[in-house]
Amino acid sequence: MELDSKSPTGPIETRWDRHRFNLKLVNPANKRKHTILVVGTGLAGGAAAATLAELGYHVKSFCFQDSPRRAHSIAAQGGINAAKNYHNDGDSIYRLFYDTVKGGDFRARESNVYRLAQISVNIIDQCVAQGVPFAREYSGYLDNRSFGGAQVSRTFYARGQTGQQLLLGAYQALERQIGAGTVQMFPRTEMLDLIVIDGRARGIVTRDLITGRIESHTGDAVVLGTGGYGNVYYLSTNAKGSNATAIWRAHKRGALFANPCFTQIHPTCIPVSGEYQSKLTLMSESLRNDGRVWVPLQKGDKRPPNQIPEAERDYYLERRYPSFGNLVPRDVASRNAKFVCDEGRGVGETGLAVYLDFRDAIQRLGKNLIKERYGNLFDMYERITGEDPYSVPMRIYPAIHYVMGGLWVDYNLMSTIPGMYAVGEANFSDHGANRLGASALMQGLADGYFVLPNTIGDYLASNKLEKIGTDHPAVKEAEANVTCITKKLLEIKGTRSVDSYHRELGKIMWEYCGMSRTAEGLKTALGKIPALREQFWRDVKVLGNGEELNQSLEKAGRVADFFELAELMCLDALERNESCGGHFREEFQTPEGEAARDDERYSYVAAWGFRGVGNPPELNKEPLNFEYVHPSQRSYK
Ligand SMILES: Cc1cc2nc3c(=O)[nH]c(=O)nc-3n(C[C@H](O)[C@H](O)[C@H](O)COP(=O)(O)OP(=O)(O)OC[C@H]3O[C@@H](n4cnc5c(N)ncnc54)[C@H](O)[C@@H]3O)c2cc1C
């Protein structure tokens, strides 16, 4: 398939403005005649639904939680980037653009990233106007801190709960529209299929999670802001409910899936403690502003941290990367943690942890200031581990956190199915092979508040879209498909729980398609996953029935989709014979153990087409061109 990214050309500073000017507009009086279905109420979907309704469109908004404000975005801790240069420390739109293209290891589109950096400054203004309580300095200016991969302070934050505060802003904007009658809200409603008519997205099929009722909603365009799929690994920092079903089922209806193997492993999470753990907890990257990462110099040194003298500690990030120190990007920090643990220098009972130590910061700044900056994170750490991080260093280890892969979208955020858009973590995003910290919130809000509301009008104004009744054969076919999957899952009545299959799949993925990958390991995974998937469909035990609140059934559908997605992720990782960002193939590394890209052969977005479960998918390539930031070996030394 020929992929047209619709990326504008010409001077990068004016691309978005010129592009917007060339887009068709919908007359204000005509906007209310269009119905837009927005699935997801996180920062991306919530911002999109509120803004589209404010513009005058009729919006239907869906989420599976009981309230839109429980979307996973609420968990975001550390902050949101913007090139405001309030600190006068050399930041600019160009620098944010540069850092993001480089941070993503040259696997993102320059036009998109530049637009993201431009819009970043509008996001902060918009959120402040909504009343989001960003942290302020004594003078009253908004405060900033630093995140990985940047040498400036450009991260705006609200203690360790930035996502929650930003989501409350978007939620209030959404509620205002619900009150005005422009948004119809459907909580506890899960999208289970996409309705495609004459090649265009015209609706969705949903299941009411309380009553089990299967229903269809039709409209002129569909927007998926359904978040990321990190939970394919079972253990991740994502909310337990985060899943891939909406984007995966859209993929099965024809939307290409881009760079599925690009996953982000966050270096600072509370380590796994046992077999029956169901979730991992993030300790925000902001902690690396003041915390120092180290392990003992000697292998197998089991002394308590406070008894290890300074000369016998290895602050390995500061040693290896003196320019960026503890604030190297996540992929680099994670890999280094794995290296030192593989050398036998890991700490804690399992040896799969490194220290994040605040001793020096507390001595320098005082306990109160550290408490003010990170108090809620320290409390969370203490509640989970029983250790006081003010007096004993935190133990941390990398964990699955975010996915850079997702539905392929063009510059207008439209997928390969006309009329279907993807925003936020659900699309393959602007982050290339590695996302810099505090950029997901920026991207989700840029997509939802600023990009989509401009671009969607062009599609609506350019196409004649007849009304679609819910008795249309394509609607009936999609409904029958959903009913059939639900029935099939309930009828298996096997012996093993959904969770046990999910956990086993997660282990395969972590082992063979996790922090480091090899061709041999990926081939092993590609043997194991289909076998486990087949066993799941023969033997899974889903309790209850389909006409009630049934979380076992909900999970079963999501895990069934994870099985298919996991296979695609491994294929994508196997096909990409290079290392870039979070995709680290052991066969492709520099003599210093850094990711070795192969720009000649792999400077493209891999966009996969579905050809049936178990059949080899179709690989399409969107070549990437770099006119401004020339690909080089990333260095943070
Ligand atoms: C612990 C943690 C901390 C983080 N901290 C930061 C940070 O400090 N800074 C930063 O930039 N990023 C951070 N991130 C990443 C960031 O939070 C996410 O990438 C971002 O919030 C995703 O937003 P979203 O709107 O795309 O999706 P989400 O917030 O995941 O929302 C998804 C929405 O889709 C709905 N949905 C999903 N599937 C369906 C379906 N089938 N039917 C109906 N509804 C559906 C859900 O109900 C929900 O409303 C963090 C992530 C984690 C896990």
pLDDT at position 372 over 90: no
| Catalytic annotation, pick one of 109, 115, 330, 345 | 330
pLDDT score at 636: 79
Atom of ligand 1 nearest to the CA of 206: 42
* pLDDT one-digit tens code per residue, 495-507: 999 999 999 999 9
Task: Indicate the pTM of the whole model.
Answer: 0.96
pLDDT score at 426: 98
Which residue stretches of 144-220 are H helix? 162-180
Instruction: Give me ligand 1 centre to Cα 543, in Å.
Output: 28
| 146-155, 315-324, 335-344, 364-373, range with the lowest pLDDT | 146-155
Write the residue with the smallest CA distance to atom 38 of ligand 1.
226
SS3 call for 598: coil
Write the residue with the smallest CA distance to atom 13 of ligand 1.
76
Report the residue among 60, 69, 73 best suited for mutation to probe ligand 1: largest number of ligand atoms under 8 A from its CB.
73
SS3 call for 552: helix
pLDDT at position 121 over 90: yes
pLDDT at position 17 over 90: yes
525, amino acid identity: A
Neighbour order of strands in the sheet with 406-407: 406-407, 257-258, 604-609, 618-623
Instruction: Give me ligand 1 centre to Cα 253, in Å.
Output: 23
* pLDDT one-digit tens code per residue, 513-550: 999 999 999 999 999 999 999 999 999 999 999 999 99
Write the residue with the smallest CA distance to atom 19 of ligand 1.
440
Which helix (H) or strand (E) segment holds residue 554: the answer is helix 551-575
* pLDDT one-digit tens code per residue, 333-359: 999 999 999 999 999 988 999 999 999
Give residues (CB < 6 A) around ligand 1.
39-45, 62-65, 71-73, 75-80, 162-163, 190-191, 225-228, 237-238, 242-243, 245-246, 282, 401-402, 424-426, 438-441, 444
Write the residue with the smallest CA distance to atom 31 of ligand 1.
42
Instruction: Give me ligand 1 centre to Cα 430, in Å.
Output: 16
List CB contacts of 562: < 8 A, sequence separation 6 or more.
229, 231, 232, 243, 244, 502, 505
Q: What is the mean pLDDT of residues 180-186?
A: 98
Dihedral of the alpha carbons of 439, 341, 106, 416, in degrees to the nearest 10: -70
Kindly report the average pLDDT of the chain as a whole number: 96
Instruction: Give me ligand 1 centre to Cα 14, in Å.
Output: 30
330 carries an active-site annotation: yes
With CA atoms as reference, report the closest residue to 409 among 400, 419, 398: 419
